[in-house]
Amino acid sequence: MSNVRVIIWGLGAMGIGMGRMIAAKQGIEIVGAIDTHPEKAQKQLSQVLGVAAPDVEVTSDPTKVIKPGAADVVLVCTGSFTREVYPQLELVAKAGINCITIAEEVAYPAAQEPALAQSLHKMYDEAGVTLLGTGINPGFVLDALIIALSGVCTHVESIRAVRVNDLAPFGPTVMRTQGVGTTPAEFHSGIESGKIVGHVGFPESMSLIATALGIKLDRIEQVKEPIISDTYRETPHVKVAPGMVAGCKHIAYGYSGGKLVLTLEHPQQIRPEAESVNTGDYIYITGVPNISMAIAPEIPGGIGTIAMTVNMIPAVINASPGLVTMADLPIPRALMGDISALIKR
Amino acid sequence: MSNVRVIIWGLGAMGIGMGRMIAAKQGIEIVGAIDTHPEKAQKQLSQVLGVAAPDVEVTSDPTKVIKPGAADVVLVCTGSFTREVYPQLELVAKAGINCITIAEEVAYPAAQEPALAQSLHKMYDEAGVTLLGTGINPGFVLDALIIALSGVCTHVESIRAVRVNDLAPFGPTVMRTQGVGTTPAEFHSGIESGKIVGHVGFPESMSLIATALGIKLDRIEQVKEPIISDTYRETPHVKVAPGMVAGCKHIAYGYSGGKLVLTLEHPQQIRPEAESVNTGDYIYITGVPNISMAIAPEIPGGIGTIAMTVNMIPAVINASPGLVTMADLPIPRALMGDISALIKR
């Protein structure tokens, strides 16, 4: 069978990781790559990836590669927000190609952008191809995995899940958007101005869970608090003195019928071990039966997002047309064999 | 929308649990029930379930209720082996009704009964309906959940998973099939004669995982060893003196290219806490990244099987025709809303 053909749009850390992963797999190949960064555009893909790769030149002009019949799927790794990636998703749909994006909001775009979600569904449906938003979170830890675990319950009363991670591997952008290295006063004004955003994806994960389980959420509340350090912590990109902010504790609460039914917590900070905080992913379902799950240390965000995106490619190509979510598709899985053999033709 | 209509075939502990679960849900109803036990046949369903239920008389004659158009799905809870439930699954297919069974081998019948699996697929496909084998294990803990977790991996080297449970809640049949209360000599001769079976479902779980991940298994080895008690343990059904057998440690090994890639362990015993053994479900993936998951205590087997079976009903009704596995269907989920609204018509 012929190889699954992939175009990667956005060669940041995630896009590059996907490129390397695909280069190491059977039955799949990269046929196009798009990035506007002057250090990447016009280079050979293998040079940008740092591994052997097909003879593909990275282009800064999407219309050069996103063309009808050019690929089986485009991986869009350029932004976080539906509004931001919408024109790119539209270009892919117009070319009649399936699409997976790691834009957090597109994991369930109807949560915050119902009109855009509807038009995305319409354009992909009409083009006969499929659009999925995924990643580690949203996409798995704080939604799909919770949904899957709830399958062993005859009744669910409430759910609480916590993802405790370490931001130390990340660069200056993440430090800024999480408020790492600010004073508490700077943190609060950063939250107000929108400069500090915390985690992107809570309304999407909440809506994914609620829709899958058939729970009607009346409202979602979000709280973002500074994690004030008692100790000195540093990374190559930031220094945090005691009394300064080591990260953002972002919590979302979902209410149904006035009752708290969903609590998702994502305290993100650098070097949590400095204060004996262990990283991990924790899911607690109160119901029949109660379920208490721990993955420790936590599933690493970067590799997890790269893996989930590439691993969902066959499911997306095989799916019914339109905008879909992780709750609509078969359970994710690692792809260790010939990927071309998984495509229903 | 009209209610989802269910027939339950087999009113043992599992069938009764499903009946009670369905009776408490919206948009779904029991329209038929089959059991040959003289204490159950000809009784009113509500009497057998011990809860309010539709006005349905339990029948001992399957052909009275398994008729074209009589239901949307039949839940077959009568046996463990493909060969054993095959005639029942055939009757359901001939009536053109979807079917879910908790017969362990039907979770992946091709593992041990490839010819029967093929003819089951053919008859369900031709009838335009779907057949799924599920339950807690096989069906979830030692297969579907492992598959789902592997989705965060770019590469999987090997997988080991352990389900440690307590057999104390179970009755005489389980004590006998697990060898609880035997001497070590009796245990070994029971294994040889097939009287002591250990866990049913390892080849099925292994095949489910291997097929989903695209790993070719050359061979599966199974080892069943007595768990010899150092302490006195008892339940209402059995007494185990020190030196006697408290349960069966059943392990399956899956090899690919001569290399051990899958290890599934299921030590089942009464009162493991007597020797400080904690129950739990544990999954360890060696790969990129490594994943270490714990659910402690373990997901209870009875409720888990009941829940998973009922919770998969909408996915099975909506699925493409034929024999399917848990790896083919959307991720499981608890059903807390109107179940009839989930059916694609």
Q: What is the pLDDT of residues A191-219, one digit of tens each?
A: 999 999 999 999 999 999 999 999 999 99
CA-nearest residue to A214 within chain B is: B337
Q: pLDDT-derived band of residue A312, with 50, 70 and 90 as boundaries?
A: very high
ipTM of the prediction: 0.97
CA of B233 to nearest chain A CA: how many angstroms apart?
26
pLDDT at A50 over 90: yes
- In the block, tokens 């997002």 appear at A305
Contact B307 A147 (CB under 8 A): no
Residues of chain B with Cβ-Cβ distance to A216 below 8 Å are 337
What domains can you pick out in chain A, each with its CATH number? 4-135+303-342 (3.40.50.720), 144-298 (no CATH)
CA-nearest residue to A281 within chain B is: B293
Q: What beta strand segments (E) does chain B contain?
A: 4-9, 28-34, 73-76, 98-101, 130-133, 155-166, 219-228, 233-235, 238-240, 245-256, 259-269, 280-288, 291-295, 322-324
* CB A261 within 8 Å of CB A160: no
Of the partner residues A152, A291, A334, the one whose CB lies closest to the CB of residue B156? A334
CA atoms of B251 and B202, how far apart (whole Å)? 8
Stretch A77-104: mean pLDDT:
97
Of the partner residues A140, A214, A341, the one whose CB lies closest to the CB of residue B338? A214
C-alpha pair distances (Å), B314 with each of B19, B22, B331: 16, 13, 12
User: In chain A, which among 151-180 make CB contacts under 8 A with chain B?
Assistant: 151-156
Residues of chain A with Cβ-Cβ distance to B143 below 8 Å are none
* CB B110 within 8 Å of CB B117: yes
Stretch A263-283: mean pLDDT:
96
In this predicted structure, what is the pLDDT of residue B1?
77
Contact B152 A308 (CB under 8 A): yes
Q: Which 3 state secondary structure label does DSSP give A87? A: helix
Statement: the pTM of the whole predicted model exceeds 0.95: yes
Residues of chain B with Cβ-Cβ distance to A329 below 8 Å are 330-331
In this predicted structure, what is the pLDDT of residue A79?
94
Q: Which of A292, A333, A339, A343 to mutate to test the interface with B (most CBs of B within 10 A)?
A: A333
Stretch A111-117: mean pLDDT:
98
C-alpha pair distances (Å), B240 with each of A194, B182, B197: 65, 8, 19
Q: What is the percentage of chain A residues whose pLDDT exceeds 70? A: 100
CA atoms of B320 and B333, how far apart (whole Å)? 19
| Regions of chain B with pLDDT less than 70 | none
Is B304's Cβ below 8 Å from some Cβ in A? yes
Stretch A17-46: mean pLDDT:
96
Is A23's Cβ below 8 Å from some Cβ in B? no
Tokens of A332: 């994710």
> Between A and B, how many residue pairs show a Cβ–Cβ distance under 8 A?
181
Is A299's Cβ below 8 Å from some Cβ in B? yes
DSSP letter, residue A31:
E
Nearest to B177 by CA among B243, B237, B259: B237
pLDDT at A345 over 80: no
Q: pLDDT-derived band of residue A340, with 50, 70 and 90 as boundaries?
A: very high
Q: pLDDT-derived band of residue A74, with 50, 70 and 90 as boundaries?
A: very high
CA atoms of B215 and B202, how far apart (whole Å)? 16
